[in-house]
Amino acid sequence: MSAVADSPARPAGAAAARGGWIHFGVAAGVLLVAAVGFHVAKDQLKIHLVKAAVPWPEGTEVDEHRLVSFPATIGPYVLAGDGGPDGIAIMTHDQLKELGTLKHDLNWYYSATYRDTRARSADDPARFIQLDITYYTGLLDAAPHVPDICLRAAGFTPISSRSGEMAVAVPGADKPWDKFPVRRTVYALRAADGSKRRSAQYYVFSMNGGPTASRGKIRLELMLPWRKYCYFAKIQIATMRSQPSLDASDAVCKEFLQHALPAALKFLPSAEAVRTLEERDG
Domain boundaries, the chain: 12-45, 62-280
pLDDT for res 105: 96
pLDDT for res 4: 41
Helix (H, G, I), strand (E, B) or coil at 129: strand
Cβ burial of 269 (10 Å; 0-12, 13-18, 19+) is buried
pLDDT for res 282: 64
pLDDT for res 166: 94
Query: Is residue 235 within 8 Å of 254, Cβ to Cβ?
Result: no
pLDDT for res 183: 94
pLDDT for res 61: 98
Return the half-sphere exposure (C-beta side, CA atoms, 13 A cut-off) of residue 222.
22
Q: How far is CA 66 from CA 37, 115, 145, in A?
A: 43, 21, 17
pLDDT for res 173: 93
pLDDT for res 137: 95
Q: What is the mean pLDDT of each run of 10 residues along the chain (282 residues)?
A: 45 56 56 45 49 95 97 95 74 94 96 91 87 91 73 74 92 94 87 75 95 90 87 94 89 95 97 94 72
pLDDT for res 196: 74
Cα separation, 186 vs 166, in Å, equals 12
DSSP string, 23-79: HHHHHHHHHHHHHHHHHHHHHHHT--SSPBPPPPPTT--EETTEE--S-SEETTEEE
pLDDT for res 29: 54
